[in-house]
């Protein structure tokens, strides 16, 4: 089966495009799927407008997916101005159903939540409670919820604990290869663990190199980092062939991972020592990369837009030409 290829609108965040513009851009690249990962891009969320967007995408042979950010009420990422966690997730599910998305994507939070009171286990329990509160609503709308391993918040085993707590029959994973490295996981191992519950993906490449207290991570265009994506997608096509490959490029930003700091291990209580050793050996092969730092003002904004678009388009070409992804490749 040919793996479907798509993009996440966050890859082009500097443009500020709305859903219709994003659909047209994805169609220009002859993609199969477009993830609209925040509700703001829809503008009005009236049913008639959502139906029009669904038809617009269908005219281009494009499937839509819909998402939001945190549903964990105590997460540093949660935005209470948008309503309760349950209200926000219900709205995302409603929008997903209206535009024909089979899933509603959400996240727990980010790496900072691992150091909050009660640790990540407490945040997982809160997130499961929110999910359970919308279970009937999601089922009535025919939508599954895809929880992402996001910004170092969850390792694969922790995400599995969350999914099992809510119920695998209607909750699964957005498997993010880039965020796996932030959480001390080699992407293929992360995929191996999450493939049985995978509903969708977030794919970008990772460059890592040693630092005195651990490592530095900087994401790259696909094919330009350290991940063996030929091997990754050979396994992917066997383990979850119906799951789309969604590119979410977030390049040029160095992220410190101080996993050798004395107090770091307490934030990652379930880290497997053997896997951490393999991760440590992997990063020793890496070399430092230069960050992308745009200047201030309008010229910097244009440079950032051009950088984001170039990173994404190179990733699309690599996935098509080298990896053979996409039904229109």
Summarize pLDDT for 167-214 with one digit per residue, the tens.
999 999 999 999 999 999 999 999 999 999 999 999 999 999 999 999
pLDDT of 328 reads 55
33-79: per-residue pLDDT in tens? Answer: 999 999 999 999 999 999 999 999 999 999 999 999 999 999 999 99
Mean pLDDT of 214-228: 98
Per-residue pLDDT, 244: 98
Strand segments, DSSP code E, in the chain are 5-8, 33-36, 63-70, 103-107, 144-148, 171-176, 198-202, 205-211, 214-220, 245-247, 254-257
pLDDT tens-digit map of 142-163 = 999 999 999 999 999 999 999 9
Q: How far is CA 320 from CA 74, 206, 237, in A?
A: 41, 19, 15
Instruction: Select from 94, 89, 111, 272 the least CA-distant residue to 179.
Output: 111
Contact 219, 207 (CB under 8 A): yes
The per-residue pLDDT for 57 is 98
Whether domain 5-321 has CATH 3.20.20.150: the reply is: yes
Percent of the chain with pLDDT over 70: 99
Angstrom distance (rounded) from CA 185 to CA 177:
9
Structure-token pair, residue 42:
């829809």
Is the confidence at residue 329, as pLDDT, over 60?
no
For the ranges 20-24, 85-89, 275-279, the lowest mean pLDDT is seen at 275-279
As a dihedral over the C-alpha atoms of residue 291, residue 297, residue 298, residue 303, rounded to 10 degrees, the angle is -10
Q: What is the mean pLDDT of residues 262-289?
A: 92
pLDDT at 311 over 90: yes
* Sequential DSSP letters for 112-129: GGGGSTTHHHHHHHHHHH
CA distance linking residue 41 with residue 18, whole number of Å: 5
- C-alpha neighbours within 13 Å on the C-beta side of residue 232: 26
Angstrom distance (rounded) from CA 222 to CA 6: 13
User: What does the alpha-carbon distance between residue 55 and residue 133 come to, in Å, rounded to a whole number?
Assistant: 31
């Amino acid at each position: 089966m040919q793996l479907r290829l798509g993009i996440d609108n966050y890859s082009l965040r500097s443009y500020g495009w709305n859903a219709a513009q994003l659909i047209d851009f994805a169609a220009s690249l002859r993609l199969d799927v477009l993830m609209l990962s925040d509700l703001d891009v829809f503008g009005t969320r009236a049913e008639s407008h959502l139906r029009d967007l669904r038809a617009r995408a269908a005219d281009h042979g494009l499937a839509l997916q819909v998402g939001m950010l945190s549903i964990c009420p105590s997460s540093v990422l949660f935005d209470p101005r948008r309503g309760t966690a349950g209200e926000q997730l219900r709205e995302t599910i409603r929008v997903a159903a209206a535009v024909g998305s089979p899933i509603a994507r959400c996240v727990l939070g980010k790496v900072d939540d691992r150091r909050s009171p009660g640790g990540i286990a407490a945040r997982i329990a809160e997130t499961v409670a929110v999910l359970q509160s919308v279970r009937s609503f999601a089922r009535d709308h025919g939508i599954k919820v895809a929880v992402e391993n996001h910004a170092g918040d969850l390792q694969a085993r922790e995400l599995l604990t969350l999914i099992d707590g809510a119920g695998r029959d209607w909750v699964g994973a957005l498997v993010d290869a880039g965020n796996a490295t932030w959480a001390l996981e080699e992407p293929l191992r992360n995929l191996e663990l999450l493939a049985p519950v995978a509903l969708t993906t977030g794919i970008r490449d990772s460059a890592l190199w040693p630092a005195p207290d651990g490592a530095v991570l900087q994401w790259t265009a696909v094919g330009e980092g350290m991940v063996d994506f030929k091997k990754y997608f050979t396994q992917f096509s066997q383990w979850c062939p119906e799951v789309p490959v969604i590119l979410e490029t977030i390049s040029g930003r160095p992220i410190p991972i101080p996993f050798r700091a004395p107090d770091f291990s307490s934030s990652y209580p379930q880290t497997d020592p053997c896997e951490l050793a393999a991760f440590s050996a992997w990063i020793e092969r890496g070399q430092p990369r230069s960050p992308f730092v745009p200047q201030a003002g309008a010229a910097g904004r244009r440079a950032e837009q051009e950088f984001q678009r170039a990173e994404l388009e190179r990733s699309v070409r690599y996935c098509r030409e080298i990896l053979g992804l996409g039904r229109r490749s």
